[in-house]
Amino acid sequence: MLWTLIIWIIVGLIAGAIAKAIMPGKQGGGWLATIILGIIGAFVGGLLGSLIFEGELDFGRPELSFGGIITAVIGALVVLAIYGWVTKRKAV
Q: Following DSSP, what letter does each residue of 53-76 receive, concatenated? A: HHSS----PPP-SHHHHHHHHHHH
Evaluate whether 80 touches 53 at the Cβ level (below 8 Å). Answer: no
Distance between CA atoms of 11 and 13, rounded to whole angstroms?
A: 6
Distance between CA atoms of 35 and 55, rounded to whole angstroms?
A: 28
User: Which pLDDT tens digit goes with each residue over 57-83?
Assistant: 665 555 667 777 788 888 888 888 887
User: Which pLDDT tens digit goes with each residue over 7-38?
Assistant: 777 887 888 888 888 877 666 667 777 778 87
pTM of the model: 0.72
